[in-house]
Amino acid sequence: MAQCWYRTNSPARFTVSVTDAERTRFKWQIVAGIASRWIALTGLPGTSAQTADPKGDAARGQAKAAVCVACHASGAPLPLTPSLAGQQEEFLLLQLILLREGLRDVPAMAGTLKGLNDSDLADLAAYFNAQKPMAPAGKRDAERHARGEQVSLKLGCGSCHMKAYVGQRQVPRLTHQREDYLAASLKAYRDNKRSGVDTSMNAVMHNVSDADIEALAHYLATQL
């Protein structure tokens, strides 16, 4: 439980206790506001875009992506760094907004998106979406691949990420992603160190063992 201090007109101070549940609720109220902006940007039915150019332009994005490709190079991103090539455009845009607003804590990204507006982020998302996905890296291990397939079926990964794990709209592509990044991300969801715009992934990964996560990551990363 956290303690929040408030000043009054008197010299005395008083405290208000804030439970972890309340802190989580406050966070998701903020995330909901960011998600509403994303919905407007992506032009879902019944919404209206609030920016001058909500649709990203890949050509403009290429010029803005120079700093990004240093770590996220489509052919060989750095260890524990996601490949963005071929990723779902709406997913990328939403994550970029969350990162810029400080609602996703990724130290390596700190300050990288400062000064970029929504249209800039939309251009970056369009650019990486248009890139050819990374080829599977490493040799497939038949035993681990088979175990990972069973874990995927048990968890129902394909119900949201689609049958071939290519993702859809705000749901990310998993196939041809870096295996180490997938494993680290899935463990972070399980351990409540990461969440999306909701906590569905945390619930899915609850109590999944390290061995099953590593097999699942191998299975997803080595799809043909």
Cα separation of 149 and 155, whole Å? Answer: 10
Q: What are phi and psi of 92, to 5 degrees?
A: -60, -45
Strands (E), 9-153: 13-18
What are the distances in angstroms from CA 218 to CA 23, 139, 145, 178, 209?
35, 10, 6, 9, 14
Parallel, antiparallel or unpaired: strands 2-7 and 13-18: antiparallel
What is the DSSP code string of 171-213?
A: BPP-TT--HHHHHHHHHHHHTTS---SSSHHHHHHTT--HHHH
CB-based contacts of 94, cutoff 8 Å, min separation 6: 35, 38, 170, 197
DSSP string for 141-174: -HHHHHHHHHHHHHHTHHHHH-TTS--BTTBPP-
Q: Which residues of the chain carry a pLDDT beneath 50?
A: 1-18, 22-26, 28-29, 38, 44-53
For the chain, how many residues are written?
A: 224
Taking each helix axis from N to C terminus, what angle separates 20-42 and 89-100, rounded to the nearest 10 degrees? 130
pTM score over 0.85: no
What is the reported pLDDT for 43?
52
pLDDT tens digits for 121-156?
999 999 999 999 988 877 899 999 999 999 999 999
CB-based contacts of 48-54 (< 8 A; 24+ apart in sequence): 51/117, 51/118, 51/119, 51/122, 52/119, 53/119, 53/122, 54/118, 54/119, 54/122
Domains of the chain: 23-134 (1.10.760.10), 142-221 (1.10.760.10)
Say what the pLDDT of residue 203 is. 95
CA distances from 54 to 60, 90, 122, 126 (A): 13, 11, 7, 11
